[in-house]
Amino acid sequence: MAKFLTAPDPNETGWPKGVKYIIGNEGCERFSFYGMKSILQVHLTALFVAGGMYEQLGEENAQEMVHLFVAGVYAFPMIGAIIADRLLGKYRTILWLSLVYCLGHLVLSIAENSIGGMAVGLGLIAIGSGGIKPCVSAHVGDQFGKGNWRLVDRVFQAFYFIINFGSFFATLMIPFIRSNPDKIWILRDHPEYATSVAFAIPGILMFLATIAFWMGRNVFVHVPPHPGGRTGLLDSIGATLLFMGFIGLPLFGWGVLSFSTNVVLTISSVLIGLWVFEERQAIEQDDGFLAVMFHSAEALIKGQNKKAIAAVDASVAEDSLRRHWFFAAAAKHFGEEAAEGPRAVLRIISVFFLVSVFWALFDQHASSWVRQAQRMNLDLELPWTTTSKDGKVIPAVLSMLPSQISALNPLMVMALIPFNTFFLYPFITRRGWEMTPLRRMTIGMLMASLAFVVVAMIQVRINTGGETDMISVLWQFFPYLIMTQAEVMVSITGLEFAYTQAPTRMKSTIMGFWLLSVSLGNKLTAIVTKLPDMDLLTSFWVFAALMGVAGVLFGIRAAFYKGRYYTQ
């Protein structure tokens, strides 16, 4: 690592040389992820039905598997961030886990006709994608120094553009390849390989993304991990075991492992993780999130907080952490600044816990909304005509695929962001009601509930019409518009709010918890989908109700939230 830059040049005023490689990597990676994800619901349903399940059960099992996969993608960043920051550094973490990511795509492309093969491939992709997710944006930020910091916002705009660009084209292209081998010259004589090729193309893009990233190795700024070495290894092992014990096994073990096996593994992971953590603390005292939390919990059990509070001098302010019922002993031991970080994280988590329900709804545009689209008329009449070979004038028709409809989302995102920023929010503010971040998020969560009321009403019409009177898939435009507006108000605003509310040294931690809320939401969807008598219409009403209640509770909590803004 010595031959690489470990800090940006403060005199550099132009674009860092490594940015183009990171942007290229991100574009290819996002294409691969969304392309593969776009056909999961349809393909897994076909596999389950081919295995002997009736259609509804096959759809439900496929939806459960899709959301467990997404839950994994957003749970593993907690581990990826620790490994990158404390052991390997961002560059090596991204590079090595990108290879795991590529291996997962390879498994999907050669074992696409096996449920077991799909599970292995998706598991590898979840580890690879989830592991690099918290590192890429931080790595691009590492490339900028004092002289070119003004360009950071522009590079993140480019990031957001390339994500939506890749998502849009992947969602149109990959389902087309899978379903129309007769229109692709290399597949015309071998249509049986269409699904394999559809999964292989995202894998090829991911491999190209890895190459693009590797090509920039000599011009990147490589911020070294801290503490690294043996201590960093113990940090990574302990954090991984504690993650599996408190989150990983409870989230993914039930239904996969037997009850007794899961309990034993969960308890063992926690106990061994705590032992590794204590060994690490014996080498060098850490004052990170886990260290402060464990010290505070131990002090509370032993009554040390009361003693610490009683010993505080009268000159110490009443709102000081030295007087806090939970953090008093930690503030005395580690200092108030170190103890303030975990308190801020807990404060934010208390607000964002209900956001998990939003993600339970949002990510269904890749599952239940695809299931609904399969029951709709996918032929769209275009505003012009064509002439047949015998001279007859016939209307031009565009035949869509159920998996392609979600391409509306990235298009709408790109349109709604400037609409909200430059028109909607200023318009409302000028009328005396300030659109604070938490107010935006409250409105967004209630809008998500409304989106599911709309899809439920569409489903009522589908159920009454039957196969002889199918309604146009264009009706899904309205719930997509409502849900995308909800996404802009919740997701983007939530990231901004979490970042500003977390102390500098806790910003990575709070981003990990933010991504974990996505994971919990997808796990909720997987659970609700498998409840008895949970047909498509019932699930839409259930999620609309859950989101409505969560939105109201979020608004109440937000009204009493007293935060503190931290800047870099």
Which residues make beta-bridge pairs with 380?
Answer: 398
Q: What stretches of 253-303 show up as alpha helix (H) in DSSP? A: 259-283, 289-302
Handedness of CA 553, 559, 563, 567 (dihedral sign): positive
Residue (of 424, 427, 561) closest to 498 by Cα position: 561
| Angle, CA 66 vertex, CA 62 and CA 67 arms, to 5° | 120
What is the pLDDT at residue 61?
A: 93
**Ordered DSSP codes for 419-446:** HIIIIIHHHHHHTT----HHHHHHHHHH
What is the pLDDT at residue 435?
A: 85
C-beta separation of 201 from 174 below 8 A:
yes
| Angle, CA 95 vertex, CA 93 and CA 96 arms, to 5° | 70
Residue (of 153, 172, 199) closest to 43 by Cα position: 199
Q: What is the pLDDT along the chain (568 residues), one digit of tens a residue?
A: 447 888 888 888 888 888 888 888 888 888 999 999 999 999 999 999 998 888 889 999 999 999 999 999 999 988 888 888 889 988 999 999 999 999 999 999 999 999 999 999 999 999 998 778 878 877 887 888 888 888 876 777 677 778 888 899 999 999 999 999 988 888 888 899 999 999 999 999 999 989 989 999 999 989 888 888 999 999 999 999 999 999 889 888 877 788 899 999 999 999 999 999 999 999 988 888 889 999 999 999 999 999 999 988 888 888 889 999 999 999 999 998 888 888 888 888 888 889 999 999 999 999 999 999 999 999 988 777 777 677 777 777 788 999 999 999 999 988 898 898 889 989 998 988 888 889 999 999 999 999 999 999 999 999 998 777 889 999 999 999 999 999 999 987 887 777 677 776 677 777 788 889 999 999 999 999 999 889 999 999 999 999 999 999 999 998 888 777 665 4
C-beta separation of 15 from 216 below 8 A:
no
Within 13 Å, how many C-alpha atoms sit on residue 558's CB side?
22
Kindly tell me the burial class for residue 17, based on how many C-beta atoms sit within 10 Å of its own C-beta (0-12, 13-18, 19 or more). middle
CA distance 550 to 538: 18
Q: If one looks up domain 19-226 in CATH, what number appears?
A: 1.20.1250.20
164 vs 40, 160, 167, 408, 409, CA distance in Å? 19, 6, 5, 10, 9
Q: Which residue in the block uniquely carries the two structure tokens 């989908």?
A: 529
And the tokens for 557? 């909590």
- What pairing do the DSSP bridges indicate for beta strands 393-399 and 379-387? antiparallel
CA distance 36 to 21: 23
**Ordered DSSP codes for 77-127:** HHHHHHHIIIII-HHHHHHHHHHHHHHHHHHHHHSTT-HHHHHHHHHHHHH
Phi-psi region for residue 292, left (φ > 0), alpha (ψ -120 to 50) or beta? alpha
What is the pLDDT at residue 144?
A: 84
Phi-psi region for residue 432, left (φ > 0), alpha (ψ -120 to 50) or beta? left
C-beta separation of 475 from 458 below 8 A:
yes
CA distance 568 to 565: 10
Which residues make beta-bridge pairs with 386?
Answer: 394
Q: Which helix (H) or strand (E) holds 380?
A: strand 379-387
Buried b (16+ CB within 10 A) or exposed e, 340-379: bbbbbbebbeebbbbbbbbbbbbbbbbbbbbbbbbbbbbe
| Angle, CA 548 vertex, CA 543 and CA 549 arms, to 5° | 100
What is the pLDDT at residue 449?
A: 98
Phi-psi region for residue 229, left (φ > 0), alpha (ψ -120 to 50) or beta? left
And the tokens for 160? 């957001």
End-to-end CA distance of the chain: 27
What is the pLDDT at residue 22?
A: 87
Where along the chain do its domains lie?
Answer: 19-226, 355-386+396-559
| Angle, CA 309 vertex, CA 307 and CA 311 arms, to 5° | 70
Buried b (16+ CB within 10 A) or exposed e, 70-80: bbbbbbbbbbb
C-beta separation of 61 from 44 below 8 A:
yes
CATH architecture assigned to 355-386+396-559: Up-down Bundle (1.20)
What is the pLDDT at residue 1?
A: 41
And the tokens for 525? 């969807």
What is the pLDDT at residue 258?
A: 86
CA distance 75 to 65: 15
Q: Which residue in the block uniquely carries the two structure tokens 């409105």?
A: 443
At 261, the amino acid letter reads T
Residues in CB range of 70: below 8 A, 6 or more apart: 37, 363, 366, 518, 519, 522
Handedness of CA 197, 203, 208, 209 (dihedral sign): positive
Common-topology check for domains 19-226 and 355-386+396-559: yes
Count of positions (residues) in the chain: 568
At 274, the amino acid letter reads L
